[in-house]
Amino acid sequence: MILITTPTGAIGSQVLRSLLDEAPARGEALRVVVRDPAKLPEEVRGRVDVVTGSHGDAAVLDRALDGVEAVFWVVPPDPAAASLDEAYSGFTRPAAKAFAAHGVRRVVGVSSVGRGTPVAGRAGLVTASLAMDDLIAGSGVAYRALACATFTDNLLRQAGPIRERGVFSDTVPADRPEATVATADIAAAAVRLLLDREWSGTGEVPVLGPEELTADERARILSEVLGRAVRYEPVSLEDYAAGFAARGVPEAFATGMVDMMRARNEGLDAAVSRTDANVFVGGTTFREWCEGVLRGVVAGA
């Protein structure tokens, strides 16, 4: 039995779809824990065991983990949390206890690159995510943290400005190459580990995309794929922070986002290279992602 958390989320939904195709042939049953089962596609609901509720709730976990061998673990974003520690480790603490109590053998979690870098301890959401990894790893379960680069799919949040003004923004310098990874490739790495019964111990698997591109290079590719001029517009950290304040985003989450972006600019990704033996390199290029994912979203934005 494999348990999938966030089965309607950006990554969890893709993990679930892949496992629906692959798990039955390997003798693996599937269970999901979801707050609102109605958000699951009807054809999915009939093929998985569904537990209703939050996977941050100990009572829900007690039902969800019964008979489970492997877990796909994602902490859903919680901008309203009083602190980042509460949002990540606080949410995960009941599970860290329940994994051992229910004899779960393996957990695969979504986290971030950055461990071992000088900025890892002041990287906001990333720092909190790494602490969550340590909490799970200390529970006694075999654990692999998917240490992901920046999600390529984050650009979907800017589908409106891209369509309306031909502009996308970020806090990175326009000429600095940066690794990103498509959520489809993160899901593929998770599925590979969830179906593999041979690994043990704890550690992380860095998950990177197949290339490093500057923001200006992304703008050129976007322009070619969309058939219209798209440019990159850098945003200062001060303006980035002001945007959160203007939208009324709670301080703990806003500060964590700003600190994470600052850490990106100060070398958060520097600890990982594609030559490292334990790295999972996804196959989705930025152009392929734009053609297969972003173009349709921009057209409907």
From the list 137, 113, 139, the residue with the least C-alpha distance to 125 is: 113
CATH architecture of 2-152+180-209+267-283: 3-Layer(aba) Sandwich (3.40)
pLDDT above 80 (res 216): yes
pLDDT of residue 277: 79
pLDDT of residue 274: 82
For residues 12-38, give the mean pLDDT.
Answer: 93
pLDDT in tens, 72-102: 999 999 999 999 999 999 999 999 999 999 9
pLDDT above 80 (res 301): no
Please tell me the pTM assigned to this model: 0.96
pLDDT of residue 89: 98
- Residue 180 contacts by C-beta under 8 Å, 6 or more apart in sequence? 149, 150, 151, 152, 154, 209, 213, 286
pLDDT in tens, 133-171: 999 999 999 999 999 999 999 999 999 999 999 999 999
Rounded CA separation 6/9 (Å): 5
Query: Under a CB-based contact definition with an 8 Å cutoff, are residues 253 and 214 in contact?
Result: no
